């Protein structure tokens, strides 16, 4: 298989798996808004978010993720996914300082995903399989 086809295939799988993780976190805002509200309070110091703001945020995230999944406006959608996941990764700094307490070790999975988001953004022009824009 030629190199460009192999690269496009690898980027497609990265896009699908990054989408899956981000999609599950977005769905959480609709199904468990109290959990999403506690995440915002604990990691971003944004207290007291009610259901409506979380639903609106979730709606925007769904639109962004749909564009990301379909490979639309890659500079914007891939860039925003990278920025959002970067903020999420950095906001968990306390968990990285004590990795063996509670579920903190799981937070380290954010780093390879951040690398995948960066690779997708950096190589967005080569991510051509199953996209609406090449």
Q: What is the pLDDT along the chain (134 residues), one digit of tens a residue?
A: 699 999 999 999 999 999 999 999 999 999 999 999 999 999 999 999 999 999 999 999 999 999 999 999 999 999 999 999 999 999 999 999 999 999 999 999 999 999 999 999 999 999 999 999 86
- Answer yes or no: are the C-beta atoms of 15 and 124 closer than 8 Å: no
Alpha carbons 56 and 73: distance in angstroms, whole number? 22
User: What pTM was estimated for this model as a whole?
Assistant: 0.94
The DSSP 8-state label assigned to residue 104 in this structure reads G
- Beta strands, E only, the chain: none
CA angle 5, 65, 57 (to 5 degrees): 165
Write down the number of H helices and E strands in the chain.
Answer: 6, 0
Domains of the chain, residue spans: 3-126
């Amino acid at each position: 298989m030629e190199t460009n086809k192999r690269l496009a295939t690898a980027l497609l799988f990265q896009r699908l798996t990054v989408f899956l993780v981000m999609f599950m976190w977005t769905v959480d805002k609709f199904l468990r808004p109290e959990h999403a509200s506690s995440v915002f309070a604990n990691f971003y110091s944004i207290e007291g978010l009610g259901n409506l703001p979380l639903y609106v945020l979730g709606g925007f995230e769904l639109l962004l993720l749909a564009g990301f999944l379909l490979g639309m406006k890659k500079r914007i959608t891939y860039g925003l996914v990278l920025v959002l996941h970067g903020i999420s990764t950095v906001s968990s700094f306390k968990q990285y300082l004590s990795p063996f307490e509670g579920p903190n070790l799981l937070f380290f999975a954010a780093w390879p995903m951040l690398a995948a988001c960066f690779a997708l953004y950096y190589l967005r022009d080569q991510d051509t399989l199953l996209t609406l824009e090449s």
